[in-house]
Amino acid sequence: MTASTSQSLSSTTSNPEHQFQQYRNALTALFWNLDFNHFCQTTGLNPGYRNSLEQFQQFQQCLRAMNQVNDDTWDRLIQIGLDAVSSNG
**Cβ proximity of 19 and 75 under 8 Å:** no
pLDDT at position 88 = 82
- pTM value is 0.66
pLDDT at position 46 = 97
**Cβ proximity of 43 and 34 under 8 Å:** no
d(CA 48, CA 37): 10
pLDDT at position 52 = 97
d(CA 18, CA 12): 9
pLDDT at position 18 = 83
Q: How far is CA 42 from CA 5, 32, 77, 80, 86, in A?
A: 15, 15, 30, 33, 34
Averaged pLDDT in 10-residue chunks for the chain of 89 residues = 48 72 84 88 94 95 90 88 85
